[in-house]
Structure formats: C-alpha cells, structure tokens
Amino acid sequence: PPPHSPPHLPPAPRRRVYLDHNATTPLAPEAAQAVRDAMCQAWGNPSSSHPAGRKAKELIGSARESLARMVGGRPEDIVFTSGGTEANNMVIHTARRHFRESQARLGDSWGTPHIVTSSVEHDSIRLPLEQLVKESLAETTFVPVSPRSGRAEVDDVFAAIRPTTCLVSIMLANNETGVIMPVTELSQRVHALNQQRAVEGLPRILVHTDAAQMIGKGRVDVQELGVDYLTIVGHKFYGPRIGALYVRGPGTTTPLHPMLFGGGQERSFRPGGSLMEPVWVFFPQAAELVSKNWEAYEAHMRDVRDYLEARLEASFGKQRIHLNSHFTGSKRLCNTSNFSILGPGLQGRRVLSHCKMLLASVGAACHSEKGDRPSSILLSCGIPYDVAQNALRLSVGRDTTRADVDLVVQDLVQAVAQLDQDQAL
C-alpha cells in the first residue's frame, strides 16, 4: 500500500429508528439522573428506623404520591409489584378468593367463580385464566371483539355475565391495534348491576382494567374510569421495568389478597424488600413527567403517527396499504399504527428482516417466537388471514420526528422492492 494511505476505518454505525414503543420505552433522562442521585443518598432499608432507612421510606412515599397523582387516585391506593404480569395475576387471585370467602360467609353455594374478559387481552390475563379453567378452579368467558369496532362492546360483555361472575377484566387500550375500550361505560353499568345483585344475594362483580398501554399516551383517571383495579407498567412510560396496581381502598372498599408472604412490605399486600429500590429511584420522575406533559406527548405522537400513515399511502399507493387499526367509530392510541403492505411474500417478519434502519415488531413482543402465524388479536378483529400475516406494528414515541418517519418509509420501500424482486425470480 502507498506509504501514506489512511488507516482503515470501521464503517460508521448505521442509523436506526426505534418504532417499538408499545413493547418498551427507554428510560427518561430525568429518571436516569434520579437513579444516580438516589443511589448515593437513599441506600438504606426502608424498614429500618435510622436516618438512611427513613430517607428511603420517605422516597417510597413520594413515589406512591407521584403514581397516585398520575392516575387520579390516593397514595394509599397504590401497591407496588414486580410488573404488569404480577399485578394482573394478583387481581385474578383476589377475585377468586373474595368469591370463595363471600360464599363461605353467607353460607351460600354459588358454584364455581366465573370471570369475563375479552378475546384480545395480554397473555398475563389470558394465560392465568386458561390455567384456572384447566384446573377447574374458575370458569371464563372470552368475549370476542366486534369486527366492526375492534372493541369489546359493553352489551356483549354484559351478555356474558352470570350469577357466579366475580370479575370483569377489560384492557384500557389494545397493544397491537391501539383500540381504546369502553371501560368507563362498562364500570358504570357494572356498578348499577352490583346494587341489584346485592339485593338478590349474589356476589359483587369487581372491575379491572390493564392500563399498561394508555398511561403516558392519553388521559387515565381512575375516578372517571370507575374501576376497582388498574394495572400500571413503568417501562411503557419511560420508567422502570416494574409495575404497580391501583386498588380503590385496598383491603377496605375493595378486596386485595397477597400471593406472596414475607417481610411485610407494601402493608403485607406485596412483601419483598428487593422490589423497593427501583420503586423510589425511578417511578416518581417518570410519573411526574406523565402528569405534567401527557397532553403534549399525545398531540406530538398523534401528529407523527398520522404523518406516518399518510406517507405510507403516498409511497405504496392506498390500494397496497391496509390499515389494520382503523375501525369505524373507535378511538385508538395516539402512537400506534398497525398496517399490512399487501402482496405475496411480504409477511411482516420478512419485511422487517430486510429493513436496514427500522426497529419494530409484527405485534406483541411476547409473541415474537410464533413464526409467520398471524396475530390472533388481528384475526379476532376480523382482519383476513393473508392480510394479518403481512402486519407490522409501528409505535412512535415522545422523541420520534417526521424526519424519522421519512427514513422509515424509505427503508420499507427498499425492503419491499427487494422482496418483490426475489418473488419475481
């Protein structure tokens, strides 16, 4: 080589655009800074009475207040958990146990507890319920969503209620389609029904919503929603990978039964000391950001998502793009676009594997091992099999820009051109 040839430089790292915010979000810089501060100042055991312990306990109290403010509840209504899966399982466990205890107290025999949910819930609702059915410990009705609206309609949920129903659990917004469910109306109707059931000596129906996808992307107010339980998941709103459960008056107004027994943390509803450190460190900052800015976040994400859909139709032609999350009369999350690029050999997974910049999913991240089988949620919503097979779910975030969208659409165009060429050979 010539004596003065430049040293061999590695190629510049390729620009990536992350559009998978429904799967998880990065930690907000403010929360990351709070970690550094708290690790130095508040390392004590919150159950200890010395100054380091008291400081830690104070920070947990502040985290509880921040979360309560974020969802419109009271600090004493917040119980911290390891994540959304534990919170959801805790609600199901509580509803069954409350049914059994009420039955024993009244000396009645109502039979097996019955739970109503939708056909598009997260696996942390669906799988525990299927397991209880398998063990003959509960009966469950999975109410299909309407193919017209993509929602679990209130009348359909009500049609499934039996004398033995003890819980109705309907997510606030779907993680794949983004469709927002009619939870407020459902709660109002269940509340009225419970008054009638009390007179008839039937068990109270508890109402739960999994709000994992909605927090930070839209209004979440437990008073407005009227639910007994609401699941909160930190890593969906730029916070820690832990969760919390809102309970309307835990142990008094609304039953709550622990699944774990141990050191007495979380008023013994959820013992376990190792959970506490991430709670006080990350949660207050992430929750305060949501409380202060959710309307601005929502407006920004909706603008970028709508721009994405317009660019897709302009680049591929309206005939070639099927928007899987557009349902007449239904509202959807501001950040979610589920669409299919129509054509043979364009399965979602294949398109993503040919993208050079886009980081996204074909659906729920927890189903990523299912190969080219289309999403059961899209099929439940009436999307045809061959269209659902080509589905991509793009979910924008607080920092996604229109320029990011331009890059992504360009990337999809080159991926599809490559696949079309392969198909033609």
- Is 366 marked active-site? yes
How far apart CA 36 and CA 25 sit, in angstroms, is 19
- Judged by phi (left if over 0) then psi (alpha if -120 to 50, else beta), residue 242 lies in beta
Q: One of 40, 166, 366, 381 is an active-site residue; which one? A: 366
Angle at 76 between CA 41 and CA 116, to 5 degrees: 125
**Alpha-carbon separation of residue 201 from 198, 207, 227, 254 (angstroms):** 5, 19, 22, 18
Q: Checking DSSP bridges between strand 165-169 and strand 114-118, what pairing results, if any?
A: parallel
Instruction: Give the closest residue to 224 by CA, choosing from 239, 238, 234, 214.
Output: 214
How far apart CA 90 and CA 260 sit, in angstroms, is 10
How far apart CA 339 and CA 123 sit, in angstroms, is 22
How far apart CA 411 and CA 355 sit, in angstroms, is 6
How far apart CA 61 and CA 56 sit, in angstroms, is 9
H/E stretch holding 34:
helix 29-41
Query: Are 169 and 84 spatial neighbours (Cβ–Cβ below 8 Å)?
Result: no
User: Three-state secondary structure along 134-170?
Assistant: HCCCCEEEEECCCCCCCCCCHHHHHHHCCCCEEEEEC
One DSSP character per residue, 217-253 reads: TB---HHHHT-SEEEEEGGGTTS-S-EEEEESSBTTT
The residues assigned a catalytic role are 366
